[in-house]
Structure 1
Amino acid sequence: MKAPPSPQTSTLWNLMQWIIRPLPFLDECAKRYGDCFAIPFGNLPKLVFLSHPQAIETIFTANPNLFDSGRGNWILRSTLGDHSILLLDGERHQRQRQLLLPPFHGERMRAYGQLIVQITEEVTHQWQVGQPFAVRPHMQEISLQTILQAVFGLREGDRLQQLTQEIGTLLDYTTSRFGFATAFFPVLQQDFGAWSPGGRFIRLKERIDQLLYAEIHDRRAHPDPSRTDILSMLLSAKDAEGQSMTDQELRDELLTLLVAGHETTATAITWALYWIHRLPSVKEKLLAELDGLQPPFDPMTIARLPYLNAVCSETLRIYPVGFITELRITKAPIRVMDYEFGAETYLVPCIYLAHQREDVYPNPQQFKPERFLERQFSPFEYFPFGGSHRRCIGAAFALFEMKLVLATILSQYGLTLATSRPARPIRRGVTIAPDRVQMIVTGDRSTQKQALSTVMRQ
């Protein structure tokens, strides 16, 4: 059996590289070992990274029953819970996926369009001409409020304010390098009192659980069939056996949507604003496309704009927020290109390395939206949301939100980067984000073009 090449460095060194500088580490391994290599991390199972489109196709088109993935996401269990769709496999995963998918597709999405624009306007209204501001916190606020209002239907009140604060604190901790590293060192997760890292995390989760369960119980006690938020749909959803989700299942899925949907989308929008204003030609083409729209606008019309779509696609290509897919743990031997893998092999389709292939994307480190206008890439060459039965269920919603937020901001504000220093990709928990993006408002474009929200409400 041919074994993939592997770094000869110590497993602890590999783990530290993975925590501190994952993308350069992957780049170095790919340059040295090619399309397939295995990395041992401490006492963890060795991970086999794959980036060739043929290898990705083999994995994505294989019978899903050949793999487990949920148990490979153990690092998320302490935050999301045992019933999160990301932690499930087999029939339980399929059941939860079928219950969760409907709210994120079709006409349901259109209803969220006005909400996204309204929240974007409310958050950006505080921007002042000439004053630098950090982009990411504002995009996080937009994304979190969108999730809280679209998922829970919470528009006002103490519970909304408390959830906003507690979820923000949770994400600040779990996306920090220290918070991420604690998952690999169990002693740091122990409750040694309210001031210990583990103690603070446990008490924070307890406060969030109280809020989530209170909302679930209130909504069960007072059902309102006129509500269109995602929680209302999940409360009424039933599986093939006629069973609804339990309170525990709802709690874990709601927290999964809050954490996964908030952090990732905010990062993607921040990256997009950086690239748009880093490259004048990209900004010029995108503004021309937006200014060419004729009212009345429809959110779906904006979502279909070709150059806006290309900018978003290229943003998710060059530095994908989730830089690896969910693991595929083999349950039986499988052949992938020239390699034979036995059962219990941890296969990792690597989104970042696949998106950096010179043979697929010439000059891959160049931000070039035109790639996505000139050709269509296969789902084995371009897969920012993963693939097969583990593809992100919120992919369509995330792209929809990303496009509407960008269109709203660019139609109303003239912006410029506060510094010429290039943004660097750094780890934020299980994702990759820019280290720092600051911008300055240079003017008000809404006087030149009617605000998107006004015409979309007509």
Structure 2
Amino acid sequence: MTTKQIQKLKSPKFIQQIESTLKPLEFLDRCAKDYGDIFFTNSFGNLETLVVSHPQDIQELFNPVNKILDAPGAANEIFKPHVGENSLIMQDGERHQKQRKLVMPPFHGEQTVNYGHQICEITQQVMQHLKPGETFIARHLCEDITMTIMLKVVFGIEQEAKFEKLKTLMTTWLSLTSSPIGASILLLPFLQKDLGAWSPWGRYRRLRQQIDEQIMTEILERRQQVQSSSHRDILSLLIQAGYDDGESMTDIELRDNLLTLLNAGHETTATSIAWALYWIHQQPEFYHKVLHELQSLNTPDPVKIAQLPYLTAICQETLRIYPVSVFTFPRITLRSVNLRGYHVASGTYITPCIYLTHHREDLYPQPEKFQPERFINRKYSSYEFLPFGGGSRQCLGQVFALFEMKLILATMLLNYQFKLEEFAPVAPTRRGFLISPQGGVKMSLAVDTAY
């Protein structure tokens, strides 16, 4: 069999980095058009990386039986300023497996269900601040909700003064990298120069230090309380959890993993809900169909809400059309492998592209159109639909994230009527590491809002 040559992007590395930072989806669409579903790019920092998007390639790579890939923490160096070097994301091999095993349980099973009512209550509390007729930005509102859920459900912060201080610090810190230009200090390491408190990187580092101090204080206090209290927040559960050898997480490991959970579960979920609100209000037939399904419930029970098929399809199609994360985490090949006739050498950095897979015409006809029925009429494999990544680095909070997304959306739609104030199509744009609706989606609360 003739081995096919994998093409490399012809533009200079710095041009690729700038294009992928400022206009990531346009960059990827052009790459797919010019080079197909497998190509080399230099857009990831200093790494030459093989980008794949064909489900057959992804299945071959992620199949645990094949043992083709390693997921080294060093490949995620670009995330270290945001999550810390002791984060699960930065770990390798056995340490990664041990930490993942410890962090995962609070996000699954009965624990997730226990948080359902709390998520609905927090959504209602934040929504009550809106006034009928008032215009708002959907992403801002959703970020307020998900940040509150993070600080109360995950961090377990109950005291109002502590909550407000940490919320302000984190919101300010995350906003520094929210624009495509701001994100460049994370995506282009050569810009990470501390030139004082008013320089972009200097301000970023000082805010991060203040956040670290607040979190470490909270961890210390919680350790003293946890044995004698009934705290069921995720931080308390992690403090009580132990590795197989009886050891528990250090304070620094707890801090970095709390920041990881914040970064992985705050803006991501908020952005997805903002997109969902946009799509279902832009095309009213989707709104009426999902509202009818929600109103058919005798009681807004969180478990029953999470099982609704059309609401699930709405959320899945939202995560398909503009996945908040464009790529999975990078991997490295442990041995050479043949991908549909293309030879990939051992030691190659490789990353599946979620966005390009989700926009394949052969999988999703008219992929640019929002069509929830796709997920009613067909079940997609984890190699065709992978909004939370795959393999050993698959998002461990994906069950919680989808549960949270459904409950927030359901609580909003059951209790309030909204009007979309966007008259032109909303375009996707970079927001930090994520893909977000440009402008955040402008909406208003209907004057006659209660059902």
TM-score, normalised relative to structure 2: 0.95
The sequence identity of aligned pairs, in percent, is 45
| Structure-2 change in CA distance of 1:43 and 1:299 (3 Å) | closer
Measure, in 1, the Cα distance between the counterparts of 2:134 and 2:120: 23
Amino acid in structure 1 at the alignment position of 2:149: T
How far the C-alpha of 1:379 sits from its partner, in A, is 0.6
Is residue 233 from structure 1 mapped to residue 230 from structure 2 by the alignment?
A: no
Q: Can you list the C-alpha shifts for 1:228-272, whole angstroms capped at 9, x where unaligned? A: 100111001111111100111111001111121101000000000
User: What secondary structure, in the 3-state scheme, does the structure 2 residue paired with 1:379 have?
Assistant: coil
Identify which of 27, 30, 35 aligns with 1:28. Answer: 30
- Pick aligned residue for 2:279 from 269, 275, 279: 275
- Counterpart of 2:48 in structure 1 is 46
Secondary structure of 1:268's aligned partner: helix
Task: Specify the code of the residue in structure 2 equivalent to 1:317.
Answer: R
SS of the residue aligned with 1:190? coil
Q: Superposed, which structure 2 residues align to 1:120-269 within 5 Å?
A: 120-223=123-226, 224-269=228-273
The answer for unaligned runs of 5 or more in structure 2 is none
2:61, 2:280 → 1: CA distance? 34
Of the structure 1 ranges 371-380 and 187-196, higher mean CA displacement relative to structure 2 is found in 187-196
Partner of 1:68: 71
Q: CA deviation at 1:38?
A: 1.1
* Secondary structure of 1:432 counterpart: strand
For the residues of structure 2 that align with 1:33 and 1:18, how far apart are their CA atoms? 16
Count of aligned residue pairs for this structure pair: 446
2:17·2:45 contact (CA, 8 Å) conserved in 1?
no
Asked if 1:291 corresponds to 2:295, the answer is yes
TM-superposed deviation, 1:202: 1.4
Alpha-carbon distance in 1 for matches of 2:88, 2:380? 28
Partner of 1:59: 61
Alignment of 1:373-452 (within 5 A): 373-436=376-439, 437-446=441-450, 448=451
1:337 to 321, 340, 346: 340
Give ranges in structure 1 of 5+ residues lacking alignment: 449-458
Q: Which amino acid aligns with 2:114?
A: A
Q: Using a 3 Å threshold, how does the CA distance of structure 1 residues 416 and 11 change in structure 2: closer, same or farther?
A: same
Instruction: Kindly report structure 1 stretches of 4+ aligned residues shifted beyond 4 Å.
Output: 184-187
Which is worse superposed, 160-169 or 190-199? 190-199
| In structure 2, C-alpha distance between the alignment counterparts of 1:298 and 1:337, rounded to whole Å | 47
User: d(CA) in 1 for partners of 2:375 and 2:72?
Assistant: 30
Describe the superposition over 1:390-414 as per-residue Cα deviations: whole angstroms up to 9, x where unpaired: 1101101111111111111111111
Matched residue SS, 1:426 = strand
CA deviation string 1:78-101 (max 9, x = no partner): 121111111112111101100010
- For residues 14-40 of structure 1, give each alpha carbon's deviation from its aligned partner in whole angstroms, at most 9, with x where no partner exists: 111100001011111111211111112
- Counterpart of 1:317 in structure 2 is 320
Give the Å deviation of 1:443.
3.9
Q: 1:45: how far off?
A: 1.7
How much has 1:13 moved relative to structure 2? Answer: 1.1
Task: Specify the code of the residue in structure 2 equivalent to 1:124.
Answer: M
Q: d(CA) in 1 for partners of 2:24 and 2:45?
A: 18
Q: Which amino acid aligns with 1:281?
A: E
CA offset at residue 444 of structure 1?
A: 4.2
**Matches of residues 327-366 of structure 1 in structure 2 within 5 Å?**
327-366=330-369
Any conservation in 2 of the 1:303–1:404 contact (CA below 8 Å)? yes
Shift of 1:70: 2.0
**Match of 1:367?**
370
Give me the whole-angstrom Cα distance separating, in 1, the residues matched to 2:105 and 2:167: 25
CA contact (8 A) 1:64 1:389 kept: no
Partner Cα separation in structure 1 for residue 380 and residue 399 of structure 2: 17
Deviations 1:296-350 (A, max 9, x none): x320000001100000000000000111111112233223222222233111111
CA contact (8 A) 2:62 2:390 kept: yes
CA contact (8 A) 1:379 1:387 kept: yes
Q: Distance in 1 between matches of 2:333 and 2:125?
A: 48
Question: What code does the residue aligned with 1:358 have?
Answer: E
For residue 282 of structure 1, report the CA deviation from its aligned partner: 0.4
Q: How does 1:82-121 map to 2 (within 5 A)?
A: 82-121=85-124
TM-score (norm 1): 0.94
Counterpart contact for 1:51–1:350, Cα < 8 Å = yes
Q: 2:78–2:189: 8 Å Cα contact kept in structure 1?
A: no
